[in-house]
Structure formats: C-alpha cells, structure tokens
Amino acid sequence: MTRAVKRAYKYRFYPVPEQAGLLNRTFGCVRKVYNLALHARTEAWQQRQERVTYNATSAMLTEWKRTEELAFLNEVSSVPLQQTLRHLQGAFVAFWDKRARYPRFKSRKRSRASAEFTSSAFRYPYGTLVLAKMAEPLDIVWSRPLPEGQVPSTVTVSRDAAGRWFVSLLCADTITPAPVSSAAVGIDAGLDSLLTPTGEKITNPRHERADRARLAKAQRELARKEKGSNNRAKARLVVARVHARIADRRRDLLHKLTSRLVRDNQTLVIEDLTVRNMVKNHSLARAISDASWRQFRELLTYKCAWYGRDLVVIDRWYPSSKVCSTCGAIAETMPLNVRAWTCRCGAVHDRDVNAARNILTAGLAVTACGAGVRPQRDSSRTGRSATKQETPGATQGIPHL
C-alpha cells in the first residue's frame, strides 16, 4: 500500500549576475522583515503583555513598505517576505509549546541565506523554473527527475557559506513501503566503529580528521588576513569549502548507510543518546561531532516512517557494553580503552559487537512485551540477582561509547 508524502528535491543551480543580485537582495529583505517583526512582537509583550499575531505583522509589513526608509522592500517579491512572517509565527508556536527556545534575530553573517516562494511567485513551464521578478529561468542541474506529473508547491532558494546556490522543490510523492521482513538489527553508535550492526562493523571514516590538515592551513591563512579586506573574504570562502566537503561526504555516507539498513531490516534498535550533553566532554566533542550520531538518527527516523519499518529507541542508560550477551552477567567496570573483554562465563566479547547484540535483545523485548530495557543486576554483596528489575533511567552514569 503506497503512502503520500511531501518530499523535497534539492538541486544545485548557477545564477547569472542579475539573478544572483536579486536573490541576494531578497535574502537581505527576508532577514530585515523577520528581525523587524520579531522586535515588534517582543516589544509588545514586554511593554503591554500583548501577543502580536501573524495577521498583525502582515499589516505592519504593508506599512513598512510605504515608508521611505524601507521602500527597498518593494524591489523584491512580496511572497518570501510573507513566508518569513509565517516562519516566525511557527517559531513562536514552537516556543509556546516548549519545543524550542525563544526566536532569535537573524544575523547577516551567521544565519542561513534563504527565501521561500509559493506557487504564486514562480512558474514551472516545461521543466524549467522561473522565479518572480526574473525574466530568465534558473540554470538548474537536474541531477534526478521530479515525480512524474507533479508540480512543486513551494520553492526554497538558498546560498551556503561556500557560495554555492541550491534550490529545493517541495512536491507530493508516493512511496511504496518495503516488503515485510523478519530481519532485525541492533545498532551501536561508536567512535572507532561508526555503527556496529549485529555481526558487522562499519569503520568510522572520520571525515573531519581526514581533512584536518587542509582545514587548519585554510584557517591559518584566514587568520592572517586583515579584517574587512577582499583577501579575507576569499580566504573565508576557502575555509567554507573545506567544511562543505566534509559535510557533503559525511551526509552521503549516512544516507547510503541508513538506506541499506532500512531496506534490509524490519526492526531497527538504537540507543537514545543525548549528543548535546555528550559533546560537553572536551576530550571527545570533536570526534562525536564528526561521527554525526544525531544526523544518523534523524535520517533513520524518517526513512523508517516512509518505508514501514519499526524503529525502537532504548534507554540511554542501558549498560549494553557491560552486559554479557551470552550469560547476562554485568561487568563491574568498563573503561573506554577496553575494546575487548572476557566474561566470567568464559565468553570473549568485542565491546562494540557485544553492545549491538544487547541493544537488539533489549529492543526486541520492548517490542514483544513492553519489558524494561535493563537486565536484572547481581547484588554487589551477595552475588544474587536483585529481586526488583530496575526501571529505565534509575541509575546514573554515562552512555557507553
């Protein structure tokens, strides 16, 4: 049974100077309107305890365009300006629902340069894309076709820090779930091995470490340039291109890996790792960020939802590295430098493979009967099993790596 989804198709394009100039002005206007609306809403609440709605900010935008100071807002399409007000409304809704922090002002240097166009602000004739206020279509590299017979509902144009231009087309699409399978896999996220599905080790390519010398050289060159000079702008682009190369290679690997795991397995079990807290360890922060566990989980989550797979997330404090997958005994300690260990039952374990097996076992138990994910512990004094199974999160500690 197919399911309908909204799917974004992202392509690179190469604008002519006139198009690049118009888009850059659009990015600036979008940022200006967002900041003005955020300031107005914040001021209204602080001074009058008044919540300003989207309709009110839309009326403000009309008045801003009539002023001499902000008359330049009329030079670009009005649709991206309205869309940024809708995005601000969504940010406030997420804040009120306690799903996000209070909206922050957009920075010219640090914020993402993007603008969203709805169907009234672009034309899609004969497989070409023409944006509002433009006479010529964008020179897009169509690396893959859009769904047959579908026309984009929204178009998002962006420019990354490396100066590359991208266009993302949101289309309706149908996805056929993968055939039902009995295969299941437990996935252990590590640093030496990026992922360790049961019985398999996938070496962590360490993309950032591979380009660390190139990145360091580019950053040294940037540091030597005078602030505000053209040479500094050129050096900044070199640094951004190195970062983009690292991110692109990492994303490509994770997409291929998650697609294979979802295609081959019906049930996938992972740990609920709090990456935000783990990167506070300055000794491991760089390696953890390079492994990109959070992005892996995001990709796995939506692909499982698309293709009808079961994603089970077990408690982050489950001692998967210390539990013997053969007899269930728990080792007293397991320092990070111990990559292999021998249980008292005589079983010899590779740390990561053993953890993946335990993660799979715990996930299947949760799926089958809703059991907790912690095994019974042996009492440290009597050597007997505890009479009460611990609940997830009852014991403090750190997740294994």
Q: How far, in Å, CA of 65 to CA of 77, rounded?
A: 12
Q: How far, in Å, CA of 254 to CA of 249, rounded?
A: 9
List residues bridging with 173 in a β-sheet.
Answer: 5
Cα distances from 98 to residues 5, 35, 92, 160, 336, in angstroms, run 27, 21, 10, 29, 36
Q: Among 173, 208, 271, 290, which one carries the catalytic annotation?
A: 271
Q: Among 173, 188, 208, 290, which one carries the catalytic annotation?
A: 188
Q: How far, in Å, CA of 68 to CA of 315, rounded?
A: 58
Q: Is 252 a catalytic residue?
A: no
Residues contacting residue 194 through CB under 8 Å, at least 6 positions apart:
202, 203, 204, 205, 257, 291
Residues 89 and 41 sit within 8 Å (Cβ to Cβ): no
Residues 349 and 341 sit within 8 Å (Cβ to Cβ): yes
Q: How far, in Å, CA of 320 to CA of 355, rounded?
A: 5
Amino acid at site 62: T
Q: Is 315 a catalytic residue?
A: no
**Torsions phi, psi for 203 (to 5 deg):** -65, 135
Strand intervals (E) in 234-303: 267-271
Give the pair of three-digit tokens for residue 299: 């990709």
Question: How far apart are the two ends of the chain, measured CA to CA in Å?
Answer: 39
**In angstroms, how far apart are the furthest CA atoms of the chain?**
82
Residues contacting residue 317 through CB under 8 Å, at least 6 positions apart:
374, 392, 393, 394, 395, 396, 397, 399
Q: Is 378 a catalytic residue?
A: no
The count of other CB atoms within 10 Å of the CB of residue 389 is 13
Q: Among 116, 208, 315, 352, which one carries the catalytic annotation?
A: 352
Residues 115 and 156 sit within 8 Å (Cβ to Cβ): yes
Indicate which residues carry an active-site annotation: 188, 271, 352
